[in-house]
Amino acid sequence: MSFTGKYELQSQENFEPFMRAIGLPEDQIQKGKDLKSISEIVQDGKKFTVTVTTGSKVMKNQFTIGEESEIEMMTGEKVKAVVRMEGNNKLVTEVKGMKSVTELNGDTIIYTMTLGDITLKRVSKRI
């Protein structure tokens, strides 16, 4: 199953509490909460390029499954992480106490990020 495609954010749960928990400034949270983000994923075997555009902010990460990569977090901080694949439709990584799962179901991607007892869930559809 290939993740390649463009996906538009349809819904999200717990955006504001999660963003506060990771330390995003309140003005950025308020600006970002109503913006529709577009994720573009290019998969070439085990290599991935993920570009997320939210308003004027563009975040681009490249990684290879099972290898340490530098990933930019939503706060702008760059961290080292290893992305694993579970089955053929789930990307999982853990960084700084946060677990991120990206699950592909047909034309829908569900991003689930958990930090402590707060879980952010975002649902995006292929466009």
Residue spans per domain, the chain: 5-126
pLDDT of residue 55: 82
Residue 83 is which amino acid?
Answer: V
The CA distance from 48 to 14, in Å, is 27
pLDDT in tens, 2-35: 999 999 999 999 999 999 999 999 998 998 888 8
87-115 per-position pLDDT tens digit: 999 999 999 899 999 999 999 999 999 99
Three-state secondary structure call for residue 108: strand
Question: What whole-number distance in Å separates Cα of residue 20 and Cα of residue 29?
Answer: 8
pLDDT of residue 57: 85
* pLDDT classification of 121: cutoffs 50, 70, 90: very high
Q: Encode 48-78: b = buried (16+ Cβ within 10 Å), e = exposed.
A: bebebbbeeeebebebeeeeebebebbeeee
Options 3.40.630.10, 2.40.128.20, 3.40.50.300, 1.10.150.110; CATH of 5-126: 2.40.128.20
pLDDT tens-digit map of 47-85: 999 999 988 889 999 999 999 999 998 888 999 999 999
pLDDT (0 to 100) of residue 32: 84
pLDDT at 84: 98
**Burial of residue 121, with CB atoms counted within 10 A of its CB: 0-12 exposed, 13-18 middle, 19 or more buried:** middle
Q: In this structure, are residues 99 and 92 in contact, taking their beta carbons and an 8 Å threshold?
A: yes
Tell me what pLDDT residue 120 has: 97
pLDDT of residue 96: 87
pTM reported for the whole predicted model:
0.91
